[in-house]
Amino acid sequence: MPKSLRALLAFLLVALSAATTHGEALITLTDAQEAKCLTILRGTLQSDEFWPAMHAAEALTLAGYGEEVRAAVEPMLDTVTDLQHRCGLARELVRAGDHSKARILLDLLDGPDPYAHIHAAESSYKVWVLGDGVDMRKAFADKENTNRALMAAAALVRWGNAEALAHLRQQIQSDDKDTARIAAWILGRVGDASDIPALRDCLKRFDDEMANGFFDHALASLGDPAGIVELERNLFSDNPTLRTMAATFAGEKGFHHLKALLITQLDDDYEDARVRAAQALLQMAHDAPTHPEGMLVSEVYPATEENPRYSEGDVHVLNDGRYLYGTTEFMNDWSDFAKARIVGRISADGGQTWGEKTVLQENIGKKNIMSLTFQQLSDSEVGMFYLHKNSMNDLDVYLRRSTDGGLTFGEASLVTDMAGYHVMNNDRVVRLSTGRLLVPVAWTEDVEKVNHFTCRTWISDDAGTTWRASKNTVDYAQRGAMEPECLEMNDGRVLMIFRNQLGHIGASWSEDGGEMWSEGSDWGVRAPEAPATLRRIPSTGDLLLIWNDSFVEGAGHGGKRSPLTVAISKDEGKTWEHKKNIEADEEDASFMSGYSYISATFDHGRVLLSYYVSKEGTKMISSRFRSFPIAWLYE
């Protein structure tokens, strides 16, 4: 487009922009316009220019052509050796629905090339990849490499790390324009209106066209009217990078009044500007799948007369980003010894809706099959663990393996190769930083005749192929130590917490990866006779405890399993803060409920929970899904 025409259009646009409304539901493209967008993107995907090709891949995925992108991009991984390019390929494969490629980003983040660290952190931010968060938190702590720390902060902010957000806000004040503009680029996406004054101040401090483009586009993204006007001007800039960046932000933020100008930009002489214009138009023309915001609660498995109990489940994030929610389905009775099997439902929209129920494991036990755990066995295999119950003195843990991320599972193998009754709760298998797998179980010779439990771990150092029992067990008073949970601590020890009848959560420690366990003791958290769930939050490294914060001396099971409480520990469990109830009894005692057998995982910056809900006096137990932003825990 000639410079004079750009200037004229910019003048007219600015004159009209004050009367323009932004963010209509969708724009409408003609068939020819949509076809032109797709032709540009498909042609650029095959381009010799790597980054425009990756931007075309992003645009096609956002337009719903992820399968096409995977088919084109996957073969490139076999030939590309440039680590920055490997980041780009892995990022777009993850975005296109192959979450197994997230491993490439995490490996590069921890690899020997410090420059690749920046790109790995940036790519991880763009597609919500964090893993266990250890390497990302380490990258954020690296203040010598400013850009690495900034990009790591971006990834962590999306997962609820307030310290990382504060760092970005500090860096916007930097006298180094490159540091300030990168921080602005990030804040435009993860910040809020409170960041507008600092971004405006940047425009006064730096007299640089490119840097000011970053500040203006961040301001526009946060709703600043003057920033929106400048973004519109930049669509006519003689600088092709500014035109490209303006189109990108216009699509992300839904500036629909720019439709005609973006259509004009489809003929831009700069390839990446054409790509981003096509991306923006397709983004604004089509609804894209979105993850939920705020608190989401769904009764995924409501109890019925035919199936009066759904309990002891787990949620697994499939390689394509969908959620598989499996749980125990009891038939015609709610007893622990009633017939039961494992069923599953899949959600493609972050848990907002769920598909039809399917059977994951039929009941082949003389009593039942129950208590599900999904766990990554290695980088290439997922395990489905469950209990196989035959009688009061015959209960074992079994494992089935998946090589397709959890879509299908192979034959079952025995884990607990020992006589007796082995209880492993749902969502309990842990994979240590060494790769070792621990299966925590409570054991009794006979649950009816003896009914006194001790805890131990079953250990595998070969991704679940073979198992051996820990060298000792953990005992406790009265009915013993029950329903254990294990977690690796920052000092390398492994903590075991367990249910008991003394009004608190019990604890034991191992200094050798679960081989030997210390004598059980009081962990210092009150609780009824009910299991607790303990996790490490990947974005902050803090501990998250989910349990019933109550105890009634002398009551059965130490009182009701209510409320269901969450709390955060920043000192490895010594103290707890931000305590809040996510479920509690209603005022009318006739509607009192119990909440227990919690599974917990993390995805897309959110906590994903499943747990049972038992209605007082009805003998009906449903299975509920709840998710919420990690940031909510710290509010």
What would the pLDDT profile of 464-480 be if each residue is shown by its tens digit?
999 999 999 999 999 99
> What is the per-residue pLDDT across 74-99, written as a single tens digit (0 to 9) for each?
999 999 999 999 999 999 999 999 99
> 628: which strand partners?
607
Higher pLDDT, 24 or 389: 389
Higher pLDDT, 248 or 21: 248
Is the CATH number of domain 297-633 3.40.50.2300?
A: no
Residue 564 structure tokens: 């269901």
Give residue 4's pLDDT band: very low, low, confident or very high (50, 70, 90): very low
Picking from 586, 582, 592, 585, the residue whose alpha carbon sits closest to that of residue 626 is 582
Residue 3 confidence (pLDDT)? 45
Q: Give the pairing of strands 606-615 and 593-603.
A: antiparallel
Q: Is the pLDDT of residue 15 over 50?
A: no
Residue 24 confidence (pLDDT)? 55
Q: What is the mean pLDDT of residues 556-584?
A: 95
Residue 1 confidence (pLDDT)? 47
Contact 44, 271 (CB under 8 A): yes
Share of the chain above pLDDT 70, in %: 95
**CA separation for the pair 58, 95 (Å, rounded):** 7
Higher pLDDT, 372 or 4: 372
**CA separation for the pair 529, 505 (Å, rounded):** 9
Residue 592 confidence (pLDDT)? 65
**CA separation for the pair 148, 321 (Å, rounded):** 26
**CA separation for the pair 200, 324 (Å, rounded):** 45
The residue extents of the domains of the chain are: 297-633
Residue 421 confidence (pLDDT)? 98
**Residue 3: CB partners within 8 Å, gap ≥ 6?**
238
Contact 260, 293 (CB under 8 A): no
Residue 494 confidence (pLDDT)? 98
> What is the per-residue pLDDT across 309-323, written as a single tens digit (0 to 9) for each?
999 999 999 999 999
Give residue 110's pLDDT band: very low, low, confident or very high (50, 70, 90): confident
Q: Is the pLDDT of residue 337 over 70?
A: yes
**Residue 598: CB partners within 8 Å, gap ≥ 6?**
427, 531, 533, 546, 564, 609, 610, 611
Q: What is the mean pLDDT of residues 139-157?
A: 94
Q: Burial, 333: exposed, middle or buried (Cβ in 10 Å; 0-12, 13-18, 19+)?
A: middle
Residue 287 confidence (pLDDT)? 81
Q: What is the mean pLDDT of residues 389-393?
A: 97
Residue 144 confidence (pLDDT)? 87
Residue 289 confidence (pLDDT)? 75
Q: Is the pLDDT of residue 9 over 60?
A: no
> What is the per-residue pLDDT across 211-258, written as a single tens digit (0 to 9) for each?
999 999 999 999 999 999 999 999 999 999 999 999 999 999 999 999
Q: What is the mean pLDDT of residues 125-148?
A: 94
Q: Is the pLDDT of residue 521 over 60?
A: yes
Amino acid in position 90: A
Q: Is the pLDDT of residue 54 over 60?
A: yes
Q: Please give the full DSSP string across 180-240, using - where no structure is assigned.
A: HHHHHHHHHHH--GGGHHHHHHHHHH---HHHHHHHHHHHHHTT-HHHHHHHHHHTT-S-H
Contact 560, 527 (CB under 8 A): no
Give residue 555's pLDDT band: very low, low, confident or very high (50, 70, 90): confident
Over the range 115-136, which residues count as b (16 or more CB within 10 Å of their CB) and which as e?
A: ebbbbbbbbbbbbbbbbebbbb
Q: Is the pLDDT of residue 18 over 70?
A: no
Q: Quickly count: other Cβ atoms within 10 Å of residue 83's Cβ.
A: 18
Q: Give the pairing of strands 368-376 and 358-361.
A: unpaired
**CA separation for the pair 366, 388 (Å, rounded):** 8
Residue 6 confidence (pLDDT)? 44
Residue 17 confidence (pLDDT)? 46
**Average pLDDT score over the chain:** 94
Of 17-21, 291-295, 592-596, 631-635, which has the strongest mean pLDDT?
Answer: 631-635
Contact 22, 257 (CB under 8 A): yes
